[in-house]
């Protein structure tokens, strides 16, 4: 029987990892929940033997076996282990890379998380994403990772938690960026609505994908439904309907969520006050920002800051110390 671990309510997310790298990757065989927390890492979860329930910014994701969930940086999340079983984890610090304009834009349109469902994702798309993950696994764990992780023995003696090969970290980050770029460019595959007739859906997806990109570049400005629908070339009422079908929310809900997502990233900077952040994110007042932020995340901005996962030293896990 595989070992189980029950975490206390105040537990922090623990990740086994190699040394001298901002990448953390492991196969979780423990059974336990993780309380609300956030970090500047992206976090990818792929259940192999047992599902997870993940709450990201008050949105629930039922992550089934074979699904891929990518949690964006600075998003508060809570993880519930429904039953014992292996799950693959990847964490990568994007605190510096997120300053790249298109990476920041990609996270905005995917936030709070991107859920790739094996059951509904087109097979060619799903297989391409799995190939990226396989490449990362081989670089991180070495050639031993050619073994199916569902058949890896519990002792995992081949995982030594030493350093990556030279430029291995750079290679892994390049693959992660390809993964993110591919998902962002094909976001309609994960967010489109099945209720729209196929031909109209394709046409609207192309138009609305461009509109979402436009909003992601101007969300801190004083955008109105009238202005954006005119820019899109639709009547206000038609645009409002197809936009909601495409995104699952109204234009103003989408705009506000963009601002909330951005403010979460800004809150990782301790030098910025909550008032400064409210205006930088496009809110009319600090009061409006605090009200909207609490409604979206469940926490006021000041308390959200306190839930930032502490930076832990990148050292070998004690469980594998005898392999060094």
Map out the domains of the chain with their CATH numbers.
Answer: 23-190 (2.60.120.280), 194-247 (no CATH)
pLDDT digits 0-9 by tens, 63-120: 999 999 999 988 888 999 988 888 898 999 887 787 677 888 888 888 889 999 999 9
Half-sphere exposure at residue 176, Cβ-oriented, CA atoms within 13 angstroms? 29
pLDDT at 69: 97
- Give pTM, 2 decimals: 0.70
CB–CB of 140/23 below 8 Å? yes
| Cβ neighbours for 321, distance < 8 A, ≥ 6 positions apart | none
pLDDT band at 131 (very low <50, low <70, confident <90, very high): very high
pLDDT at 216: 83
pLDDT at 153: 43
Nearest Cα neighbor of 149 from 223, 46, 3 is 46
Output the six-digit token pair for 122.
């087109």
Statement: residue 280 has pLDDT above 60: yes
Statement: residue 143 has pLDDT above 60: no
């Amino acid at each position: 029987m595989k070992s189980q671990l029950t975490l206390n309510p105040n537990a922090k997310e623990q990740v086994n990892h190699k040394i001298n790298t901002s990448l953390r990757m492991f196969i979780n065989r423990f059974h336990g929940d993780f309380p609300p927390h956030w970090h500047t890492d992206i976090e990818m979860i792929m259940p192999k033997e047992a599902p997870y329930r993940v709450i990201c910014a008050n949105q629930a994701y039922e992550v089934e076996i074979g699904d891929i969930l990518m949690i964006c940086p600075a998003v508060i999340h809570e993880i519930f282990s429904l039953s014992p079983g292996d799950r693959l984890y990847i964490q990568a610090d994007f605190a510096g890379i997120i300053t790249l304009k298109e990476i920041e834009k990609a996270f905005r349109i995917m936030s709070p998380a991107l859920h790739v469902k094996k059951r509904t994702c087109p097979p060619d798309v799903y297989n391409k994403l799995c190939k990226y993950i396989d490449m990362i696994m081989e670089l991180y764990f070495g050639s031993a990772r050619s073994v199916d992780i569902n058949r890896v023995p519990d002792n995992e003696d081949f995982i030594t938690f030493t350093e990556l090969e030279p430029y291995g970290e750079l290679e892994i980050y390049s693959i992660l960026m390809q993964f993110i770029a591919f998902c962002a460019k094909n976001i309609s595959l994960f967010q489109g609505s099945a209720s729209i007739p196929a031909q109209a859906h394709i046409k609207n997806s192309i138009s609305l994908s461009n509109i979402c990109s436009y909003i992601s570049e101007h969300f801190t400005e004083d955008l109105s439904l009238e202005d954006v629908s005119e820019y899109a070339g639709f009547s206000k009422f038609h645009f409002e309907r197809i936009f909601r079908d495409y995104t699952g929310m109204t234009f103003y809900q989408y705009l506000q969520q963009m601002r909330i997502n951005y403010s979460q990233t800004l809150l990782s900077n301790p030098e910025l006050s909550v008032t400064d952040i409210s205006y930088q994110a496009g809110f009319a007042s600090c009061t409006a920002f605090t009200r909207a932020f609490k409604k979206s995340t469940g926490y006021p901005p000041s308390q959200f800051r306190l839930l930032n996962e502490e930076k832990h030293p990148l050292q070998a896990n004690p469980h594998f110390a005898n392999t060094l």
